[in-house]
């Protein structure tokens, strides 16, 4: 059985709100405000009566002590209308550059594409729909190592559900994982069995989304991984697994390297498998070494293209994140930065661009993501003012995303065809010393949970299934 205590009593001590510029801020409430709020909540509950029994309350209907550092507090999103009006005003006031001098996307996201994004975003897009989706879920804040961490926590209705913490990447957020919540927590409604159930924890990386923005250095993947262990234990879980893609895979890898006793294993969909000799050849710009198998040669060629043509954005964020003032000041500038992802219509941006344009891009049809999905994520970055703080996570990161992970705890790997590279089984077996699952999936890409939530959920179930039997 996987241990999980009942949710700690939420403390009403802090209020998360948006300022006049539409950016997330926190205010600690006075004791009288807490009592007044509780009194109003009690009266409201009495008036509403039994009809309110199924509704989630932001604060408890009785006086509570001030928050302590390990309290778990409920959280709801409520963006003031003025912030959305200001966002639309800024979008519609964009100062546009000249059109690109080429007929393709080789110079970056094309002007016509960004004009169409801006037209829809500034007129027809409705953030409130995303806000409602988020507020329909159990969201919380808790302080870990001096920083407020936002997370979604959905418990399965099935007993003995396996607890899993799922970490997003850049340019993602918890919005990437919304579609996998029901398939993982309620598997019987999605082709799975009761024994496939998960309790799901989806945190926002520090500096991303609704988590606090660090004001000092040090919040790197290692510190984040340690915070995730604290979070899971605070929720009452004595055993759990970790899942991640993109930077979330880095966090899972670092957690696995630390191998805390509570961590049973990991599943990643951006595996780190490059052997040392291959990494050296790639750094030198050498042609593929002789003796590579067909899948190893393909991976080498994909990685060569990745490292020579598609990592400029990552290099900039890893070296000079503070210089990116433009993406904090201009919504359209932010959107272009997040949409491009360093490779135009290649990988991994093809799925995003196909959604934005509403047509197939490089063989990736617009059937996994919608334009609103993409704009939900971009709008979250804007409203929380996390363009720069999220970029700093690259500056903080000292762990190689692609070189062999050298992990000795149980690990499962899913290789999606639209990923930056398709990790060969031979490299994967060398990088993960207790590889419990490896599968080449036939659909989906870098944003697998977002693009193909059903298929992704099936991979997570299959990959981690053996761990349920081992305890």
pLDDT digits (tens, 9 = 90+) for 320-352: 999 999 999 999 999 999 998 766 566 667 888
CA atoms within 13 A on the CB side of 345: 18
Collapse the DSSP code of 173 into the 3-class scheme (helix H, G, I; strand E, B; otherwise coil) and give the result: coil
How much is the average pLDDT of 342-366?
77
Q: Please name which of 213, 263, 179 lies closest in space to residue 452, comparing C-alpha atoms.
A: 179
**Sorting pLDDT into bands at 50, 70 and 90, what band is 18?**
low
Q: What is the maximum alpha-carbon separation in the chain?
A: 77
Distance, CA of 422 to CA of 413 (rounded, Å): 11
Is residue 171 within 8 A of residue 177, CB to CB? The reply is: no
**pTM greater than 0.75:** yes
Collapse the DSSP code of 320 into the 3-class scheme (helix H, G, I; strand E, B; otherwise coil) and give the result: coil
Would the pLDDT of 186 be above 90? yes
Sheet strand arrangement including 139-144: 72-74, 139-144, 147-154, 198-203, 162-167, 240-244, 263-268, 411-415, 435-440
Amino acid 449: pLDDT = 96
Q: Please name which of 406, 399, 403 lies closest in space to residue 276, comparing C-alpha atoms.
A: 403
Lowest mean pLDDT among 27-36, 104-113, 144-153, 305-314: 27-36
Collapse the DSSP code of 73 into the 3-class scheme (helix H, G, I; strand E, B; otherwise coil) and give the result: strand
Strand pairing class (24-28; 14-18): antiparallel
How much is the average pLDDT of 164-184?
97
Amino acid 345: pLDDT = 65
Would the pLDDT of 20 be above 70? no
Amino acid 359: pLDDT = 86
Distance, CA of 228 to CA of 203 (rounded, Å): 8
């Amino acid at each position: 059985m996987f241990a999980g205590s009942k949710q700690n009593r939420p403390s009403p001590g802090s209020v998360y709100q948006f300022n006049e510029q539409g950016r997330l801020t926190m205010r600690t409430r006075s004791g009288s405000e807490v009592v007044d709020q509780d009194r109003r909540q009690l009266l409201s509950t009495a008036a509403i009566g039994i009809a309110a029994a199924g509704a989630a309350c932001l604060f408890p209907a009785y006086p509570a002590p001030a928050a302590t550092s390990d309290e778990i507090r409920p959280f709801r999103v409520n963006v003031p209308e003025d912030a959305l009006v200001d966002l639309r005003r800024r979008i519609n006031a964009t100062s546009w550059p000249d059109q690109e001098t080429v007929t393709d996307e080789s110079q970056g996201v094309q002007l016509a594409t960004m004009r169409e994004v801006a037209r829809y975003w500034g007129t027809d897009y409705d953030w409130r729909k995303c806000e409602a989706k988020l507020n329909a879920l159990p969201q919380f804040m808790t302080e870990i190592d001096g920083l407020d961490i936002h997370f979604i926590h959905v418990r399965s209705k099935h007993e003995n559900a396996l607890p899993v913490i799922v970490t997003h990447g850049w340019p993602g957020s918890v919005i990437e994982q919304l579609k996998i919540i029901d398939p993982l927590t309620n598997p019987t409604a999605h082709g799975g069995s009761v024994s496939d159930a998960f309790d799901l924890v989806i945190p926002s990386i520090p500096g991303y989304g609704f988590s606090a923005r660090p004001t000092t250095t040090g919040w790197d993947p290692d510190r984040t991984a340690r915070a995730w262990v604290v979070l899971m234990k605070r929720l009452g879980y004595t055993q759990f697994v970790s899942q991640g893609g993109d930077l979330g895979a880095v966090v899972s890898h670092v957690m696995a390297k630390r191998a805390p006793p509570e961590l049973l294993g990991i599943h990643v969909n951006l595996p780190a498998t490059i052997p040392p000799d291959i990494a050296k050849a790639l750094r030198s710009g050498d042609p593929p070494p002789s003796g590579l198998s067909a899948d190893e040669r393909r991976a080498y060629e994909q990685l060569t293209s990745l490292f020579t043509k598609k990592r400029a954005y990552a290099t900039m964020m890893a070296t000079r994140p503070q210089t990116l003032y433009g993406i904090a000041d201009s919504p359209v500038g932010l959107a272009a930065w997040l949409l491009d992802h360093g490779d135009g219509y290649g990988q991994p941006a093809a799925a995003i661009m196909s959604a934005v344009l509403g047509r197939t891009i490089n063989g990736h049809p617009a059937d996994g993501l919608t334009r609103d999905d993409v704009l939900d994520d971009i709008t979250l970055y804007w409203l929380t003012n996390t363009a720069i703080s999220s970029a700093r996570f690259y500056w903080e990161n000292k762990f190689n995303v692609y070189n062999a992970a050298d992990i000795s705890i149980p690990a499962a790997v899913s290789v999606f065809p639209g990923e930056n590279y398709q990790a060969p089984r031979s490299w994967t077996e060398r990088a993960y010393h207790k590889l419990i699952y490896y599968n080449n999936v036939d659909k989906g890409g870098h944003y697998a949970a977002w693009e193909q939530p059903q298929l992704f959920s099936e991979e997570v179930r299959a990959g981690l299934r053996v761990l349920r039997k081992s305890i």
